[in-house]
């Protein structure tokens, strides 16, 4: 799987290439906006890793051009500036995710994988936490390689939590996801489904824990010993 890295710092680019090669990715590196535009037109990449501060302009120009062509290529933005304006600008222009420098290589790989596992992208749709796996294509939960039967709403909650693994999924997101726009939702409905899901997973031997962040949402993580 080939990735394009647009990064003007040679050293950082080399290290990224090395790290990504170990993770099994092939990479091309360019250092300017112009080279990036050309590369994107000639080669079909699986994802783009884009630095914003480039010698001949703002990396966002590459992103804007890409989205103008309606190219759904997953884009991971790297930025040295941590401000909201960068974040908002980046996401509005169509970045799928962003990382503020300095970032952990592990984090970069995780974010990249999350992007590539989206429906329609290169990697399969299996999401994994500890011994729990969720295949978002056939919406199937698997524990220790054994497929499990869950109710439709429990499956919906699990899917959302697995997609957002490592991050907090807000209660509002869960409500929207399982009930959609179908009228009023009882205030404790989400708690009820999360509680049932938790019980089911624990009974079936999944070594995961669904944390409740009071007032905020839920987070699925590997169970600590």
Partner 1 sequence: MIRFKSIISRIVILHVIAVVITSVVISFALSWLLNLATGDIHNKAMEDQAASVARYLVSNPDGSVSLELPPELQGLYSQPYGRYSYAVVDADGHTLISSRKDRTAIFPTDPKSPNVGFLKFKRDDAAISGASLPKTIGDRKLWVQAGEDLANRDVLIDDIATDFFKDVGWITLPILLLLLITDIAIVRRALRPLRQASEIAEHIGPARTDVRLPVNEIPSEVRPLVLAINQALDRLQEGFRVQREFTADAAHELRTPLSILRTRVDTLDDRSIANALLADIEAMSRIVGQLLDIAELDVLVVDPDDRADLREVCAEVAEFIAPLALEQNKDVALLGTNAPVWVKGNPEMLSRAIRNLAENAVKHTPRGTVVEFTVEQNGIAKVSDRGPGIAEEERDLIFRRFWRRDRSQTGSTGLGLSIVQQIAELHGASITVENRPTRGAQFSIHFVASGNAVEKAADE
Residues that bind partner 1 in the complex, under the rule CB under 8 A: 9, 11-12, 15-16, 18-19, 22, 53, 78, 80-85, 100-106, 166-168, 170, 211, 213-217, 219, 221, 224
CB of 3 to partner 1, least distance (A): 15
We find the least distance from the C-beta atom of residue 102 to partner 1, in angstroms, to be 4
Both tokens of 200, joined, read 């089911």
- What is the smallest separation between the CB atom of 180 and partner 1, expressed in angstroms? 20
Nearer to partner 1, 71 or 223 (CB): 223
Of 70 and 214, nearer to partner 1 (C-beta) is: 214
Residue number, 74 or 217, with CB nearest to partner 1: 217
Return the HEC string of 9-36: CHHHHHHHHHHHHHCCCEEEEECCHHHH
Please, which residue, 119 or 215, has the CB nearer to partner 1? Answer: 215
Instruction: Give me the least distance between CB of 41 and partner 1, in Å please.
Output: 27
Least Cα distance to 111 among 60, 171, 66, 47 occurs for 47
The 8 Å CB, 24+ separation contacts for 112-116 are 112/3, 112/25, 112/47, 112/49, 112/74, 112/76, 115/47, 115/74, 115/76, 116/1, 116/46, 116/47, 116/74
């Amino acid at each position: 799987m080939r990735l394009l890295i647009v990064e003007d710092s040679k050293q950082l680019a080399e290290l990224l290439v090395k790290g990504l090669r170990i993770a099994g990715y092939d990479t091309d590196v360019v250092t300017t906006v112009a080279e990036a535009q050309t590369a994107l037109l000639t080669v079909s990449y699986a994802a783009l890793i884009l630095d914003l501060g480039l010698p001949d302009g703002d990396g966002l120009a590459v992103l804007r051009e890409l989205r103008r062509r309606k190219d759904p290529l997953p884009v991971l933005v790297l930025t040295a500036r941590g401000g909201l304006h960068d974040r908002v600008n980046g996401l509005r222009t169509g970045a799928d995710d962003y990382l503020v420098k300095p970032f952990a290589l592990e984090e970069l790989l995780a974010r990249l994988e999350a992007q590539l596992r989206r429906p329609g992208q290169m990697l399969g749709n299996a999401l994994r936490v500890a011994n729990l796996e969720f295949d978002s294509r056939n919406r199937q939960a698997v524990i220790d390689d054994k497929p499990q039967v869950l109710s439709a709403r429990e499956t919906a909650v699990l899917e959302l939590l697995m997609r957002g693994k490592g991050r907090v999924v807000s209660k509002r997101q869960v409500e929207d996801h399982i009930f959609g726009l179908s009228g009023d939702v009882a205030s404790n409905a989400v708690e009820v489904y999360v509680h049932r899901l938790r019980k089911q997973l624990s009974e079936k031997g999944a070594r995961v824990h669904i944390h409740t962040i009071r007032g905020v949402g839920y987070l699925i993580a590997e169970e600590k010993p």
